[in-house]
Amino acid sequence: MKMQVSLWKVLFFVLLVFSAFPGPVSAGQAKKEITGDWQVKIEFNGRQITSILSFSSNKNGELAGSWISFSGLSELKDIKYENGELSFVQVYRFRDSESEAKFTGTVKRRKLTGTLSSDRGESRIEGTRLRPISRAVGNWDMKIKVEEREFTANLIVKQDQDGKLTADWQSQWGEHKISDVEFKKNKLNFKRTSKVQDRQWESTFDGTVRVHTLSGTFTSDRGEIKAEGKRLGSALIGKWNLEITSDRGTRKQILQINPDLSGLYGPIAIQKFNLKDNQVSFKTTLEYNEQKSEISFAGTLQNNKLNGEMTTSRGTRTVEGWRKGRTKTNKPSREPDVVFVPTPQKVVDKMLEMAEVKKDDLVYDLGCGDGRIVVTAAKKFGCRAVGYDISPKRVKESLENVKKNNVGDLVRIEQQDIFTLDLSKANVVTLYLLPSLNVKLIPQLEKLKPGSRIVSHDFDMKGVKPDKVVTIPDEKDDYGDHTIYLWTTPLKKEKVSNE
């Protein structure tokens, strides 16, 4: 009997010991350990290069990833992660060439180490997991209603390198100090000490963050006050897929914009993205091999699309961006306003001559058709030009024309609704639309800089007096004579007859 009791004690002890050790890591837990962004440093030929490794889980629950370097975006395949062991194959494509490199390494305590091997040799890699930015971070435009009066303020929430949150309350009414900032499970809480003239009091804030809105209540011995906020720059925040095009081809890149409007262009840190109305810009400096190169971007944010130009010491490239997770689409927002009729080349030449196009000008062609006007402007005058058309077929034809004439470094083609465009950067605007459409464009054309030129083929602009009108005979008599109208800004308004 004693032997049986002893045996049961032994079995109980063994079960207790084994239950004290964790079981094998599940597939879901393993994915959580690796998913996210990792900043990695590569030693190659005595140089250190910084890149970003980004891992996520796809629709099938499998690991997916990308390698983000300054030169562009490359995909990862054959990703395997188990018990801290990580391996994958990096695939880099440029133009018609493709190369691969194999990574094998380990992940332990937020540290990634390993070796990247290719036909060019081996490179040592070390990386650390980037801390995610709290969704409470950002500049919140707050509105507070006290009885019948409404007050506005800015709540600026910041996060330090250790993940700790701090905040400032900026208001034209009094002085305010915020402490004990906490954010858990969408709930934002802090204490506020306020002083207005000779009065001072303390309050607590309990709020909820939902995407880019903040709603909550201030509670003090005076009672409760409701507060509502919207995060500034919300239309820009998130990850963007970019396509960057030059005469050497198109490459892909990632733009990460944080809630506080800091972020990353590829692996390069951006201290501040500027957003005013729908205009986006940033500047940064790339340091490589003891050399510095300035990078600047200027573009337009519209309908969840980001279009603009990237300028470096190597020249200017066109940029097209759309939110990560969405697919690039060429579907027009509506049908074209006019049927495409090509402008004869001699008319194109005369339009640009009348506009006195110079090398430093920026030409916009609204309804660019096959791109002949912008291509001619670039080839003949060496100026930059942008063609806009709502039809994907016309955009395709224009891009082919740009490529055929080797002017991709000067000409950009965009699929856009011309009545939503900001035209203020152009010096010259060319038109071949209809009289009613020209009139519809007047509010946009009035925003052009003084001295800008507008030329229209065949159709006038009712209510605006032209500076010059020229008629060109059509020798073939296909469409009759061609008339070209020239206006300069500011536009000269004239009375419109009701007849």
> Which residues make Cβ contacts (< 8 Å) with residue 50, sequence separation at least 6?
39, 40, 41, 42, 267
Peptide bond into 132 cis (omega under 30): no
pLDDT interval class at 312 (50, 70, 90): confident
> Which residues make Cβ contacts (< 8 Å) with residue 496, sequence separation at least 6?
462, 463
pLDDT over 60 at 232, yes or no: yes
- Per-residue pLDDT, averaged over 79-85, amounts to 92
pLDDT at 58: 73
Distance separating alpha carbons of residues 128 and 130, to the nearest angstrom: 6
What stretches of 47-110 adopt beta strand conformation (E)? 47-57, 63-69, 72-82, 85-94, 97-108
Q: Which string of DSSP letters, residue by residue, matches 313-369? A: TTEEEEEEEEETTS------SS--SS---PPPHHHHHHHHHHTT--TT-EEEEES-T
Give, for 13, the enclosing helix (H) or strand (E).
helix 2-19
pLDDT digits (tens, 9 = 90+) for 432-488: 999 999 999 999 999 999 999 999 999 999 999 999 999 998 766 455 689 999 999
pLDDT interval class at 110 (50, 70, 90): confident
- Per-residue pLDDT, averaged over 301-320, amounts to 87
Distance separating alpha carbons of residues 403 and 395, to the nearest angstrom: 12
Closest CA relative to residue 52, chosen from 159, 160, 133, 127 = 127
pLDDT digits (tens, 9 = 90+) for 18-32: 333 344 445 556 567
pLDDT digits (tens, 9 = 90+) for 113-130: 999 998 888 899 999 999
pLDDT digits (tens, 9 = 90+) for 248-272: 777 889 999 999 999 999 999 999 9
pLDDT at 336: 82
Domains of the chain: 28-129 (2.40.128.120), 138-231 (2.40.128), 238-323 (2.40.128.120), 345-488 (3.40.50.150)
